[in-house]
Structure 1
Amino acid sequence: MRALLVVNPVATTTSARTREVLTHALASDLKLEVAATEARGHARELAREAAERGSVDLVIALGGDGTVNEVVNGLLAEGPDTGDLPRLAVVPGGSTNVFARALGLPNDAVEATGALLDALHAGSERAVGLGLAAGTPGTPDAVVPRRWFTFCAGLGFDAGVVGRVESERERGKRSTHALYVRQALRQFVGDPRRTNGAISLLRPGHSPIEGLALSMVCNTAPWTFLGSRPMYAAPRASFDTALDLVGITRLSSAAMPRYATQLLRSSPERGLRGKGVVTLHDVSDFTLQSQVPLPFQLDGDHLGLRTSVTFTGVRRALRVIV
């Protein structure tokens, strides 16, 4: 099998020596081409070129969720898989690796490589659904290019946390769970709209839901991990359905500890809940619209400010070796 290994050389949890060992192991079973990313967006271009050339049967992403997201967007640059695109495989190398872990892969890169080789030998794969976000027609964000996401998106509070973490990383801080917790606390203190939400949820054929302070779009469960602990914001979200949404209307000083505790104690049967929580399951098309520009993130990648984003859940969008 012909394969392209897209390597993020600055992945958080893999050393140069580990990446060399993994590359050697994969090359023993595959006709392997290796490409290291050089800048943000490079993984997307590498995957897009591989899909356009038809030169490989498999693209392997070695890195964190950001690398995986770029590879997915490169593979699906022309739309969902119709049977002729390379398959995707993932070797986790980031700090959280939500997509890989949600697929059931080990969080250790060496173990995950072994699992990948076993899956290749067995011919094991699955078609997964993905989310697609785009600027809403008729709004200032209409010109924003569409982008696929694998496990989550967010407009508002959680995206603000992601933006703060990225700013700290640009200053040289390591991406750790403690860093996320600190920035979540700072976002809570500094967010003027957490008690008076500016986000509206719009769905064809339904009345608008207004006043959301937080909006999280989930394509799978868990939503994220805190160390080894999975956190289920929308427990019924799945790669086999369309999208789930969790919105919160008010993040007051009294409510925030309650929601944080719910997340820490969440399970595949129980997620966020309460009077101020809005949930939708298995929805294919909806729009999040804000009265003011708000932070926006996809798969943990901060994409700046948006006033309106339209989401589409696409079933069986891509084939994954697992």
Structure 2
Amino acid sequence: MRALLVVNPKATSTSARTRDVLTHALASDLKLDVVSTTHRGHARDLARQAAEDGQVELVIALGGDGTVNEVANGLLHHGPDPEGLPSLAVVPGGSTNVFARALGLPNDAVEATGALLNALESGNSRTVGLGFAGGTPDTEDAEVPGRWFTFCAGFGFDAGVVGRVEQQRERGKRSTHALYMRQVLRQLLGDPHRRRGTIVLEQPGGEPVEELVASIVCNTSPWTFLGNKPVYAAPAASFDTALDVLGLARLSPGAVTRYGTQLLTSSPERGPRGKHVVSLHDVVAFTLHSQVPLPFQMDGDHLGLRNSVSFTGVRRALRVIV
């Protein structure tokens, strides 16, 4: 099998020596081409070229969730075709690795490589649904160029936290759970809309949901991890369904404490709840609007401010080796 290994050399949880060992192990079983990324968007371009080349059967992403997102977007540049596109495989190398862990892969890169080689030997794979934001998969929205996401997107409060974390990382800070918690507090203190939100959720045939402060869109569950602890914002979300939404209509200090506690104690059966919580399951298409520009993120990548984003849940979008 001919495969392309896309390596993010800045991946936070793998060393150069570890990446060399993993590359050697994969090359022993595959006709392997290896390319290290040099800039943002490079992994997307490499995956797109592999899909268009027609000779590559498998693209392996060695990196964090951002690298996986870029590879998925490259593979899906011309749209979903699970039988015609190269398959995707993931070797986790980031700080959280939500997509890989949601697939049931080990969080250790060496163990995940062993699991990948076993899956290739036994022919194990599955198709997964993905989310698409910015118009529809075949019609892009003028404000937000279309982009796929593998596990989550956010509009409002949580995207603001992601943006603050990115700013700190650009200043040389390490991505740690403590860093995230500090930015949650700063976002809370600095958000002028936390008591009365500006987000309206609209979906075909449904009543609009108004005055949301935060809107978290999940393509799978868990939503994220705190170390080894999974956190469930939308427990019913799945790679086999469309999209789930968790909306919060109030974020006072008391509400943040309550929702934070609920998230920390969440489980596959129970997530955040209360009179200011909106939960939607298996939604195929909807749009989030805001009267004022709000932060927007996908798969942990802050994409700036937006007034409106349209979402589509696409079942069976991509084949993954697991």
TM-score (norm 2): 0.98
> What residue number does 1:119 align with?
119
Partners of 1:153 and 1:63 in 2: how far apart?
Answer: 19
> What residue number does 1:190 align with?
190
> What residue number does 1:260 align with?
260
Q: CA RMSD, aligned part only?
A: 0.9
Number of aligned residues: 318
Partners of 2:206 and 2:135 in 1: how far apart?
Answer: 20
Partners of 2:311 and 2:304 in 1: how far apart?
Answer: 17
Partners of 2:81 and 2:261 in 1: how far apart?
Answer: 39
Secondary structure, aligned partner of 1:254: helix
Partners of 1:155 and 1:53 in 2: how far apart?
Answer: 36
Structure 2 residue runs of 5 or longer lacking an equivalent are: none
Secondary structure, aligned partner of 1:304: strand
Q: Deviations over 1:105-157 (max 9, x none)?
A: 00000000000000000100000000000059xxxx62421000000000000
> What residue number does 1:321 align with?
321
> How do residues 47-58 of structure 1 correspond to structure 2 at under 5 angstroms?
47-58=47-58
Query: Does the alignment pair 1:72 with 2:64?
Result: no
Partners of 2:265 and 2:176 in 1: how far apart?
Answer: 21
Partners of 1:321 and 1:81 in 2: how far apart?
Answer: 15
Distance 1:247 1:292, change over 3 A: same
> What residue number does 1:129 align with?
129
Given that residues 93 and 109 in structure 1 are in contact (C-alpha distance below 8 angstroms), is that contact kept between their aligned partners in structure 2?
A: yes
Q: Deviations over 1:234-254 (max 9, x none)?
A: 000000000000000000111
Distance 1:143 1:213, change over 3 A: closer
Secondary structure, aligned partner of 2:196: coil
> How do residues 1-322 of structure 1 correspond to structure 2 at under 5 angstroms?
1-135=1-135, 142-322=142-322
The sequence identity of aligned pairs, in percent, is: 76
Secondary structure, aligned partner of 1:206: coil
Given that residues 3 and 60 in structure 1 are in contact (C-alpha distance below 8 angstroms), is that contact kept between their aligned partners in structure 2?
A: yes
- Offset of residue 177 of structure 1: 1.4
- Offset of residue 82 of structure 1: 4.6
Given that residues 135 and 143 in structure 1 are in contact (C-alpha distance below 8 angstroms), is that contact kept between their aligned partners in structure 2?
A: no
Secondary structure, aligned partner of 1:52: helix
Q: Deviations over 1:268-296 (max 9, x none)?
A: 00001110000100010000000100000
Given that residues 135 and 308 in structure 1 are in contact (C-alpha distance below 8 angstroms), is that contact kept between their aligned partners in structure 2?
A: no
- Offset of residue 175 of structure 1: 1.1
Partners of 1:143 and 1:248 in 2: how far apart?
Answer: 25
Secondary structure, aligned partner of 1:275: coil
Structure 1 residue runs of 5 or longer lacking an equivalent are: none
Secondary structure, aligned partner of 2:134: strand
Letter in 2 for 1:270: R
Partners of 2:296 and 2:255 in 1: how far apart?
Answer: 23
Partners of 1:233 and 1:143 in 2: how far apart?
Answer: 28
- Offset of residue 52 of structure 1: 0.5
Letter in 2 for 1:76: L
Secondary structure, aligned partner of 2:142: helix
Secondary structure, aligned partner of 1:263: helix
Secondary structure, aligned partner of 1:72: helix
Letter in 2 for 1:78: H
Given that residues 82 and 127 in structure 2 are in contact (C-alpha distance below 8 angstroms), is that contact kept between their aligned partners in structure 1?
A: no
Partners of 1:184 and 1:37 in 2: how far apart?
Answer: 31
Partners of 1:82 and 1:65 in 2: how far apart?
Answer: 21
Letter in 1 for 2:130: L
Letter in 2 for 1:321: I
Partners of 2:143 and 2:275 in 1: how far apart?
Answer: 36
Secondary structure, aligned partner of 2:263: helix
